[in-house]
């Protein structure tokens, strides 16, 4: 360690690290607009400028390596004046619609204007009147609110490996846009929403389904059901000021009933179904010489990437639908028949951590008879908005269980919320299918945690199974390139989650969460798996009953009709 002087106080720093990181670790808050944690600094916004003894100009702390004996003033009058001027210039041509903006109260630019005492418009700039891009089923792009920080561009390119957006033009005409300024719907965008999490303003937001859901809840002719994804119960609490990683599954169920949903189902049960079908499909491929490695198919952003960029791997994808779509299909078939309901009367809502689930629900393959299996998808943020609109207190309601027959889950299904969880769940059931015995050590530390690429080998009888887990599509792309070039022939099963860390860090999750919050969400899921009794999909009695009463067995004709799908090559603009 080395020692630097920050505002007259000695602090420890690691040799070679950036000054901003050392200052923040020491409890000194230095503002940024362009900094993306985990990526190399760009120094574009200059909000983090500080005074360094011996330097004539202010220096961006995000791009300055520390050195022994460095003396820094983080909040000198000169640094504060520079930051305030930057914010005033950004506001010069920014829309004055904060009262109506979806990010009001959660806008970094707004926060900095308050923090730095900006109380009037000192500079006037030419206002633009760009067209709002609403073409995507998942994401809305409002160019007038863009401050050109570049965070969305960097996340899309460096974290996700997609590069659907980039800087266009020069000087005052610079803007962030898609190739040829086409709509997001025909671009290479995979709908993951990581750009929304990165954006400091309201330039990017999800395509809201709040209006449609409220209309259905207020329609006496509709039978409205809701399912919630595995990761939602350990993230929703953050929207109401509770600590990251707080599991409020029971309270959330009570709140959903209080909102007027007539049935509350747990999509973790459908994750158990996914495990049963996926494990059976893997067994079939291993025995019949099918296409390997088999790759999971529960993450819709990943599926779109394969369709548009790696169509030669489409046959490697499992044919299983995602848990959301499996449950949606069962709600309008199995559940409707049990309740003597016309499927057209049912309005099926999914609460998901993911903006790409909105895209998935609108895929033509996810409809039967012209009617979608899932009618609307709410992000975690949108659910919180509805709860606040309807005046419900999450903490004041008595917890309740999800509804039968689609509400009882195992902890294996719950693990789908974290990267590696789907693979771990499948391996537990695969072992039982092949040996008739449970895994002695069902928990697999090698597949847990936020790392972008994880691997392990699992011995099941005479079978030595190579397993890889990728989260964040840049990691997935590197793995696919290795397989395509023949460098990886040792894998039989691959799990891919679109978002880094998995669904706990999905594009529909609460804003402003850092790596610590994502880790806390993961740990909450691991605690559930540790503390509860039913830890395998094949041990879930509700899943067994569903097969006995309706589906028959995994990969049966009815299972294939309701729980499986197909994928095809997709052409997009660059």
**Digit-coded pLDDT (tens) for 292-328:** 999 999 999 999 999 999 999 999 999 999 999 999 9
Catalytic residue among 51, 239, 277, 281: 281
Non-local (6+) Cβ contacts of 24 within 8 A are 30
* 8-state DSSP, 402: P
Q: Is 318 a catalytic residue?
A: yes
Q: Tell me if 261 sits within 8 A of 225, measured CB to CB.
A: yes
Extract the tokens encoding 35: 């900094």
Q: Is 280 a catalytic residue?
A: no
Catalytic residue among 51, 360, 408, 495: 360
Question: What pLDDT score does 553 carry?
Answer: 98
Question: What pLDDT score does 125 carry?
Answer: 79
Domain borders along the chain are 2-90, 101-123+131-206, 211-563
* 8-state DSSP, 346: E
* 8-state DSSP, 548: I
Q: Which residues of 44-63 are buried (b: 16+ CB within 10 A; e: fewer)?
A: bbbbbbbbbeeeeebbbbbb
Catalytic residue among 321, 332, 357, 358: 357
Measure the N-to-C terminal CA separation of the chain; round to a whole number of Å: 46
Which whole-number Å values give the CA distances from 543 to 109, 267, 299, 412, 516, in the listed order? 48, 12, 22, 12, 34
Question: What pLDDT score does 573 carry?
Answer: 76
Look up the CATH number of domain 101-123+131-206: 3.30.70.20
Tens of each residue's pLDDT in the chain, 574 residues: 999 999 999 999 999 999 999 999 999 999 999 999 999 999 999 999 999 999 999 999 999 999 999 999 999 999 999 999 999 999 999 998 999 999 999 999 999 999 999 999 999 877 788 999 999 999 999 999 999 999 999 999 999 999 999 999 999 899 999 999 999 999 999 999 999 999 999 999 999 999 999 999 999 999 999 999 999 999 999 999 999 999 999 999 999 999 999 999 999 999 999 999 999 999 999 999 999 999 999 999 999 999 999 999 999 999 999 999 999 999 999 999 999 999 999 999 999 999 999 999 999 999 998 899 999 999 999 999 999 999 999 989 999 999 999 999 999 999 999 999 999 999 999 999 999 999 999 999 999 999 999 999 999 999 999 999 999 999 999 999 999 999 999 999 999 999 999 999 999 999 999 999 999 999 999 999 999 999 999 999 999 999 999 999 999 999 999 999 999 999 987 6
Sign of CA dihedral 38, 43, 44, 50: positive
Which whole-number Å values give the CA distances from 414 to 404, 419, 422, 439, 474, in the listed order? 17, 12, 9, 18, 25
Catalytic residue among 146, 189, 354, 503: 503
Q: Is 337 a catalytic residue?
A: no
Q: Is 360 a catalytic residue?
A: yes
User: How far is C-alpha 325 from the chain's CA centre?
Assistant: 17
Q: Is 503 a catalytic residue?
A: yes
Does CATH number 3.40.309.10 belong to domain 2-90?
no
3-state secondary structure 27-57: CCCCCCCCCCCCCCCCCCCCCCEEEECCCCC
Question: What pLDDT score does 574 carry?
Answer: 64
Q: Is 281 a catalytic residue?
A: yes
Extract the tokens encoding 350: 């999914």
CA angle, residues 342, 351, 271, in degrees to nearest 5? 85
Helices and strands in the chain: count of H runs, count of E runs: 19, 19
What are the DSSP calls for 174-215, one per residue? -EEEEGGG--GGGSS-----HHHHH-SSSSEEE---HHHHHH
pTM over 0.85: yes
* H-helix segments, 62-149: 77-91, 108-115
The structural architecture, per CATH, of the domain 211-563 is 3-Layer(aba) Sandwich (3.40)
Say what angle helices 421-435 and 267-288 make with each other, to 10 degrees.
60
Question: Pick from 182, 194, 245, 234: which is nearest to 414 by CA?
Answer: 234
Catalytic residue among 238, 277, 278, 382: 278
In angstroms and rounded to an integer, the radius of gyration of the C-alpha atoms of the chain is 25
Catalytic residue among 158, 212, 362, 365: 365
User: How many Cβ atoms sit within 10 Å of the Cβ of residue 37?
Assistant: 9
Tokens 């908005």: give the residue: 385
């Amino acid at each position: 360690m080395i020692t630097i002087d920050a505002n007259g106080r000695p602090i420890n720093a690691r040799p070679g690290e950036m000054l901003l990181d050392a200052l923040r670790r020491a409890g000194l808050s230095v503002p940024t607009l362009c900094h993306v944690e985990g990526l190399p600094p760009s120094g574009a916004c200059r909000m983090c400028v500080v005074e360094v003894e011996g330097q004539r100009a202010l220096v961006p702390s995000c791009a300055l390596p520390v050195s022994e004996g460095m003396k820094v003033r983080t909040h000198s009058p000169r640094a504060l004046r520079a930051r305030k001027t930057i914010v005033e210039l950004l506001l010069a041509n920014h829309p004055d619609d904060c009262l109506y903006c979806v990010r009001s109260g959660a806008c970094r630019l707004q926060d900095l204007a308050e923090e730095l005492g900006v109380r009037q418009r000192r500079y006037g700039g030419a206002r633009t009147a760009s067209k709002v891009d609403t073409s995507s089923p998942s994401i809305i792009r409002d160019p007038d609110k863009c401050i050109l920080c570049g965070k969305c561009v960097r996340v899309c390119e460096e974290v996700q490996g997609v590069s659907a957006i980039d800087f266009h033009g020069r000087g005052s005409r610079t803007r962030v846009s898609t190739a040829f300024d086409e709509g997001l719907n025909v671009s290479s965008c995979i709908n993951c929403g990581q750009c929304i999490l990165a954006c400091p303003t309201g330039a990017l937001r999800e395509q809201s389904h709040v209006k449609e859901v409220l209309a259905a809840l207020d329609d006496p002719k509709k039978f409205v059901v809701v399912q919630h994804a595995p990761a939602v119960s350990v993230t929703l609490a953050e929207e109401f000021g509770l600590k990251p990683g707080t599991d409020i599954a029971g309270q959330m169920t009570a709140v959903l009933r209080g909102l007027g949903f007539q049935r509350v189902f747990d999509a973790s049960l459908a994750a158990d179904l996914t495990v049963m079908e996926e494990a059976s499909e893997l067994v079939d491929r291993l025995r019949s010489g099918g296409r390997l490695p088999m790759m999971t198919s529960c993450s819709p952003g990943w599926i779109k990437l394969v369709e548009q960029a790696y169509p030669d791997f489409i046959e490697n994808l499992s044919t299983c639908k995602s848990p959301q779509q499996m449950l949606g299909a069962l709600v309008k078939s199995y559940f409707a028949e049990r309740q003597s309901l016309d499927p057209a009367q049912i309005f099926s809502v999914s609460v998901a951590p993911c903006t790409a689930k909105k895209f998935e629900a609108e895929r033509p393959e996810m409809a039967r008879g012209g009617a979608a299996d899932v009618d609307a998808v709410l992000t975690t943020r949108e659910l919180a908005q509805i709860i606040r609109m309807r005046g419900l207190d999450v903490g004041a309601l008595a917890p309740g269980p999800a509804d039968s027959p689609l509400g009882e889950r195992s902890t294996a299904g719950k693990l789908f919320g974290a990267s590696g969880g789907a693979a771990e769940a499948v391996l537990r059931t695969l072992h039982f299918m092949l040996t008739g015995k449970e895994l002695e050590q069902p928990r697999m530390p090698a597949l847990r945690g936020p790392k972008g690429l994880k691997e392990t080998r699992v011995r099941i009888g005479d079978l030595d199974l190579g397993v890889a887990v990728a989260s964040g599509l840049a990691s997935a792309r590197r793995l696919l390139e290795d397989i395509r070039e023949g460098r990886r022939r040792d894998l039989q099963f691959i799990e891919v989650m679109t978002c880094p860390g998995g669904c706990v860090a999905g594009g529909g999750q609460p804003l402003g969460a850092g790596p610590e919050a994502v880790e806390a969400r993961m740990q909450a899921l691991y605690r559930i798996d540790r503390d509860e009794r039913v830890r395998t999909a094949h041990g879930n009695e509700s899943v067994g009953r569903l097969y006995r009463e309706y589906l028959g067995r995994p990969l049966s004709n009815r299972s294939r009709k309701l729980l499986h799908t197909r994928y095809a090559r997709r052409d997009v603009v660059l």
